[in-house]
Amino acid sequence: MLSTLSSLVFIPIEGERIVVQKPEYLLSNYRLVQYDRGSKTTVSLPLHMIKEYKLTPTAAMFKVTNGIVNVLGTMPQREELRGALSLREYERLRVGDQKKLCDVCGVPFIHPDQPYSRWICTGYHQDFCRRFYEGFAWLKGEEIFTYFPDSFLLTTYRLYQYDAKTRKLFMFPMNMVQTFEAKGNKLLITAVSGKFEIRGKVPRQDHLLRVWQARAWESLPKTNLDWLIMPLSQMQKVSPLPQYAYTDMTVLKPMAAATESREDIQVSAAMPAGTTTVFMKPVIKDRCSYCNAPLSWEKIDWVGPDQYACPSCKSSHRVEYIRI
């Protein structure tokens, strides 16, 4: 069956049925089909890939397994999307069916056993972000933390940054970053490869700190850390995906239910107008947890952006932040 709407073409797979149908969008029990006015294309998004979303009447941002999808246009009502997601009928799809659905939608299929895949590129993206999504691979477990559409993109593994002064692009794997300081439109980074001063829109210090503290990249095999700076075309030669075989009839473990974000749609590192500033004060321990030696700001040794070492036993501690 081929259903043609005013600006949409819907080709259902076996077991798929329409839940809601409007001129600019369509919701089935398996996916969302939406006309995007930003890219002037049709976005087709499998429901099982959605982890978090923010919906307004004229725009939406979907956080999926391998990236972020931005859509502009007449969006589904909250109740409609919640209803389609709550059905969770996509959980009965086996691996082969999920792959077929992704192929029909034009998005990469993500298998939990594959160490990497492509970033999702559907929807509206400015050239800066699209260059990253198309040029580099998504690594297993990697998530977009925050970004500014034409200046930087910070994931849980790395920072992709444009320097407005030199007009160059930089890739900073967070496992190679030793210290950083972001103030206004300047970012100072010390990495194992040298010191860098970036000008322009940069991530906020607290965002960088949260990514650095989480240390999500430690879940990656050490042999895969080089992939953080390796172009996708080279990775496909070094470690082609077809070698990671899977069975089409396998039933995957159900994903957690998608959640609706209460935060505003924000793709800027700048604080929105009218937002209250929260001030945080760094504190250190009075005594070392290992040798009980007294600690003071004057005597501790800094071993990382938020780590310090006891001057007596050299054991490391993390700075704590309290709200003031």
Residue-wise pLDDT for 119-140, tens only, equals: 999 998 889 999 999 999 999 9
Residue-wise pLDDT for 206-263, tens only, equals: 999 999 989 999 999 999 999 999 999 999 898 887 665 666 667 676 666 788 875 5
Least-confidence region, from 7-21, 127-141, 178-192, 266-280: 266-280
Question: Positive or negative, the Cα torsion across 144, 191, 152, 273?
Answer: positive
Please tell me the distance from the alpha carbon of residue 216 to that of residue 104, in angstroms, as a whole number. 32
- Confidence at 300, pLDDT banded by 50, 70, 90: confident
For residue 37 the two structure tokens come to 């006015």
pLDDT of residue 245: 60
pLDDT of residue 228: 95
Tell me which DSSP letter residue 244 carries: S
CB atoms closer than 10 angstroms to residue 190: 14
Instruction: Say yes or no to pLDDT of 302 above 80.
Output: no
Least-confidence region, from 72-86, 186-200, 247-261: 247-261
Cβ(180)–Cβ(170) under 8 Å?
no
Mean of the per-residue pLDDT values of the chain:
85
Domains annotated on the chain, with CATH:
114-245 (2.30.29), 280-323 (no CATH)
